Amino acid sequence: MLPPVLGTLSALLGLWMGWGFISSSAATFDEPAHLARGVCYWKTGALLKNLDDHPPAAEMAAALPPALRPINFPPREAFDLPARQPAVSERFLYGNTAAADPLLNSARSFAFILWMAILAVATFLFVTRLEDRASGWLSLVFLFFNPVLLSNSALVTTDAGAAAFFMAAFLPAMLFSRDCGGGIKNRGGALKLALAGLFTALAMASKYSMALLPLFVAITLAADLLRGERRGAAVKTLKAVSVYAAATLIFLLLIYRVTDINLYFNGLFETSKRVTGSKTSFINGLHLMDGVWWYFPYAFLVKNPLPTLLLAAVGLFYSFRKGKRSHLWIYAPAFLYLAFAMRSTFQIGVRHVLPLLPLLAAAAGIGARRLLENRRLRPAAWVLIALLAVSVLRVHPHYLAYFNEAAGGAERGYLRLLDSNLDWGQGLKPLGQYLAKIGAPPVYLSYFGTARPEYYGIRYVPLGGFGRPQTPTGENPCLFTRHILAVSATNLQNVYYADRRFFDWLRDRKPDQVVGYSVFVYDITEDRAAMLKLAESLYRLGLPEQGRCLRKKII
């Protein structure tokens, strides 16, 4: 009875953790654009011409609750030019008839429940069929106690939707396989392949990286059916792969209403150019333009909880030691996906390998089951599960910023990986709450994100930033009684600054507060040297009046 209890309790705690993250986080970098586009799809009934960044399925799914409300929505033509989208999206979220937080959080909550439900059902059935029901229940522990999966599923983006459909696509394909009692002649065999095609098409219509999913499913299916010397195996394999491929194409055409299928391929072409081109990234203090091959393996190892990684290793060892041929369905897709991800130079977040995480949960569930059934090793399993809970809950509700203990925890995450790995703009809301507690003083703000600081009650002088163009809110440094800096972690490490040493003068200074592990707050009122550096920074950023005023106060 313990595995069902653990799995159910983990799911309930996961809902609580997800809501905690949703309610505590400001809009992340891409959410306004995803939400505005999704609502526009529903309200206008037209697919957008500019789909270079993302296909429509996941955006439409998340945007359904806001689209049912009587709100203003941007015209379709507003998205024809990429440069116009950020301003249009910001006005949609912060200038609508409904308040921004309720509008955004209704979409987040719906997306979170939808994606986690698909992932939970698909993972449970997947592991149950491959191993046993107890392993299936235990896999839910590692699914819901995965901070990366939890936080990204609670955001209005395309990553979690693609991961959910990725997992759902492998389930019916696996059920068709020989080791799981399937086959082309078995009843329902063609239906299983058609379902795999449907979920594959939905994944492809959610994120362009999923264009590789048909290849992954076909390779794994062929490897499963061709094992051993069986007469006619090649012909049966070709038939199965052909049915699956045809179903995928048909469903993709239907999603794009046939006549708009060119939008998918145009967007795919543009995306393929972007992910292989130069893009700034940060890893372990290194500023890179063309990335490193080990970025995604490293991100996978430091962003996932250590107990999950250890138990997944136990599961992998068990699978190979016992010759579990059916477990090919866990490890083949994982290694194929990771191998292709390692070729990309677009290295801004572990979220780009999110489909690996339900497979990681599957392996960990099998590993936990093997330890729990061994009387001598059972205590080790319970210790690892307890440590998992402690490791994840200690960062509540800031799950996006989670790093495991081997990486130094969330407290030292800013030294490891940035951007959507830790600091994606979500820290603006807790920053506003922190400032309210200390009297709501105006601050010098360097923000990485697209949310509006003033929406969260933040009065500020802009100190550089990336995302939403920041304009002064009329604050005069001459009148400040305290001089407080608030700097996003991504900016603190100068990731997107032309001058990679812009904030080096803060490098060795201990912050007075780190809000949500992603926004560093410094009170430099009594530090003359720091005040001079700040004045110099204001001059360099094109704010000479503020810099001059601050310099006068120092003198």
Predicted local confidence at residue 417, as pLDDT: 98
Instruction: Answer yes or no: do 429 and 384 share one domain.
Output: no
SS3 at position 266: helix
Residue among 365, 354, 300, 331 at smallest CA distance from 10 = 365
Residue among 263, 342, 14 at smallest CA distance from 149 = 14
Instruction: Answer yes or no: do 107 and 220 share one domain.
Output: yes
Instruction: Answer yes or no: do 106 and 191 share one domain.
Output: yes
Report yes or no on 464 lying in a domain: yes
Q: How many folded domains does the chain comprise?
A: 2
User: Is the alpha carbon torsion for 159, 164, 169, 171 positive or negative?
Assistant: positive
Instruction: Answer yes or no: do 214 and 116 share one domain.
Output: yes
SS3 at position 462: strand
**156 membership: H or E segment, kind and range:** none
Instruction: Answer yes or no: do 24 and 129 share one domain.
Output: yes
Q: How far is Cα 347 from Cα 290, in angstroms, rounded to an integer?
A: 9
Instruction: Answer yes or no: do 389 and 508 share one domain.
Output: no
Contact 541, 445 (CB under 8 A): no
Report yes or no on 405 lying in a domain: no
Instruction: Answer yes or no: do 108 and 255 share one domain.
Output: yes
Contact 347, 282 (CB under 8 A): no
Instruction: Answer yes or no: do 73 and 115 share one domain.
Output: yes
Instruction: Answer yes or no: do 432 and 548 share one domain.
Output: yes
Predicted local confidence at residue 184, as pLDDT: 47
Instruction: Answer yes or no: do 349 and 481 share one domain.
Output: no
The amino acid sitting at 223 is A
Range of the domain at 459: 421-554
Report yes or no on 13 lying in a domain: yes
Predicted local confidence at residue 180, as pLDDT: 62
- How far does Cα 342 stand from its chain's mean position? 17
Residue among 206, 134, 133, 222 at smallest CA distance from 167 = 206
Name residues of the chain where pLDDT drops below 70.
1, 48-53, 178-187, 228-231, 468-472, 555
Instruction: Answer yes or no: do 361 and 440 share one domain.
Output: no
Report yes or no on 403 lying in a domain: no
Q: Identify the residue whose tokens are 């830790």.
A: 422
Contact 446, 491 (CB under 8 A): yes
Report yes or no on 198 lying in a domain: yes
Report yes or no on 407 lying in a domain: no
Predicted local confidence at residue 501, as pLDDT: 92
This prediction has a pTM of 0.95
Instruction: Answer yes or no: do 343 and 461 share one domain.
Output: no
Cβ atoms < 10 Å from Cβ of 288:
15
Q: How far is Cα 417 from Cα 347, in angstroms, rounded to an integer?
A: 10
Q: Write the burial class of residue 185 (CB in 10 Å: 0-12 exposed, 13-18 middle, 19+ buried).
A: exposed
Report yes or no on 147 lying in a domain: yes
Report yes or no on 156 lying in a domain: yes
